Amino acid sequence: MVRQTRLPADPESWLVREAPDAPVLFFRPDVLQATARRFLAGFPGLVTYAVKANPDPAVLANLAAAGIGAFDVASPEEMALARAAAPDAVLHYHNPVRSAAEIAAGRAAGVASWSVDRLSELDKLACLAPRTEIAVRLKLPVPGAAYDFGSKFGAAPEEAAALLRAVVARGFTPSVTFHPGTQCTDPAAWARYIAASAEAATAAGVRLARLNVGGGFAADRSGAAPDLEAVFAVIGAATREAFGANAPALVCEPGRAMVAEAVTLALRVKASDDRAVTLNDGIYGALAEWRDMGPGGRLRVLSPAGHLRSAAPRPRLAFGPTCDSLDRLPDPIDLPGDIAEGDWLICPAMGAYSGALVTRFNGYGAREVVTLGPAAA
């Protein structure tokens, strides 16, 4: 990876001037910090950042500079990255399944909050100090997300109630955490989860210290920016309605919505015909999520001469650069009819997972990271 020190104003001018052959990630620190401040100002509780979405040290440092003081970590490596960016940060280790070595690493890193979704994982945490916060991971069959995190993690409401009782019986501080699913566009999903969390706490006879409403906050993939403030309002109102005077403190852990808009990805068209395009990145790189979520509706195509392609769109297959026939998007994508070899496909809102999921399969995976200056007023 080559990190540029110059601060160009926009991807287009840099691409035309430099004509890179590798994929390029354009990073906007000002956009990232503005999004962090939006969460801090609007969410009615503690804002943590889900490091898995983008663990780049520059991202973590900019979030810390914007006032994010807590991080959701899923591994010892993420703990180290968060500590390097913010030595005094609060760490929440909410990956609910851990090895003994990972638990030891969490203790050494001073993790403040842990999660579990089964009794056997709670048993592993017997070494923790009394009154340590243990958040029970709740799952529900709630629609509205691009894909469901409950397929791997979480306890059903009755199981969650039993776990809460066990948490208290062992001298820990009880909380609940949930995740409505990535790119969740239905604010009512949070309300349903909050109501179920209250019901589980009541069934357990437990007063929750905190309620972590997860991530799931949507990024702008279509050109219509999600109304985060409306989601925050639903979360606050649903918590008051469900818990009344015993409302727990709220926590959120945005990942995608925090970082997506801060990065734009540019890909080079290696080949083009009436049927398909071959790009210099694919599912083994920054486009891994496009297999499940599609590319969104904000793509634009820039010619080497610097003008945007504007011919009527036509559906084309999209292949990645590797020799693997699986390296393709499952469905055709609409691209300008005049797209040509050497063009760049410019993809906004790619700050989440586009870098974190990159592999070096077939010798690909190298990319440039270019920091952009603030947009002109």
Q: pLDDT digits over 271-281, tens only? A: 999 999 999 99
CATH 2.40.37.10 range(s) for the chain read 11-26+260-371
> CA 223, CA 219: separation in Å to the nearest integer?
10
**pTM value?**
0.94
Q: What is the pLDDT of residue 142?
A: 65
Rounded to whole angstroms, the Cα distance separating 313 from 344 reads 16
How far apart (Å, rounded) are the C-alpha atoms in residues 347 and 295? 8
Virtual torsion, Cα 256, 258, 262, 267, nearest 10 deg: 0
Q: What secondary structure, in 3-state letters, does the chain show?
A: CEEECCCCCCHHHHHHHHCCCCCEEEECHHHHHHHHHHHHHHCCCEECEEHHHCCCHHHHHHHHHHCCCEEEECCHHHHHHHHHHCCCCEEEECCCCCCHHHHHHHHHHCCCEEEECCHHHHHHHHHCCCCCEEEEEECCCCCCCCECHHHCCCECHHHHHHHHHHHHHCCCEEEEEECCCECECCHHHHHHHHHHHHHHHHHHCCCCCEEECCCCECCCCCCCCCCHHHHHHHHHHHHHHHHHHHCCEEEECCCHHHHHHHEEEEEEEEEECCCEEEECCCCCCCCCCHHHHCCCCCCEEECCCCCECCCCEEEEEEECCCCCCCCECCCCEEEECCCCCCCEEEECCCCCCCCCCCCCHHHCCCCEEEECCCCCC
Bigger pLDDT: 153 vs 333? 333
Q: What percent of the chain has pLDDT over 90?
A: 89
pLDDT at 4 over 90: no
For 29-258, CATH number? 3.20.20.10
Rounded to whole angstroms, how far apart are CA atoms 60 and 52? 11
Confidence of residue 6 (pLDDT cuts 50, 70, 90): low
Mean pLDDT to the nearest integer, 206-213: 99
In this structure, of 6-20, 135-149, 187-201, the range with the lowest mean pLDDT score is 135-149
Using pLDDT thresholds of 50, 70 and 90, give the confidence band for residue 7: confident
Say how far apart CA 281 and CA 355 lie, in whole Å. Answer: 12
Mean pLDDT over 167-184 rounds to 96
* Whether the predicted pLDDT of 1 surpasses 80: no
Question: Bridge partners of 114?
Answer: 93, 134
Give catalytic residues, as residue numbers: 323
pLDDT per position as a tens digit, 13-63: 999 999 999 999 999 999 999 999 999 999 999 999 999 999 999 999 999
Q: Model confidence at 302, in pLDDT bands (50, 70, 90)?
A: very high
Report the percentage of the chain scoring pLDDT > 70: 95
- Does the structure show a pLDDT above 70 at 349? yes
pLDDT value of residue 264: 97
How crowded is the C-beta side of 371, counted as CA atoms within 13 Å? 14
Domain 11-26+260-371 CATH (choose: 3.40.50.300, 1.10.3720.10, 2.40.37.10, 3.40.50.720):
2.40.37.10
Q: List all residues 6 or more positions away from 49 whose beta carbon is below 8 Å from its beta carbon.
A: 36, 60, 63, 68, 70, 71, 72, 253, 254, 255, 258
> Boundaries of CATH 3.20.20.10 in the chain?
29-258
pLDDT recorded at residue 374: 87
The rounded mean pLDDT for the chain is 95
Rounded to whole angstroms, the Cα distance separating 289 from 355 reads 11
Q: Which two tokens stand for residue 192?
A: 């349903």
Q: Please name which of 123, 127, 138, 131 lies closest in space to residue 190, comparing C-alpha atoms.
A: 138
Residue 348 in tokens: 């906004």
pLDDT at site 376:
58
Q: Give residue 2's pLDDT.
A: 44
Q: Mean pLDDT throughout 60-75?
A: 98
Pull the structure tokens for residue 85: 């960016």
Q: Residue 377: is its pLDDT beyond 80?
A: no
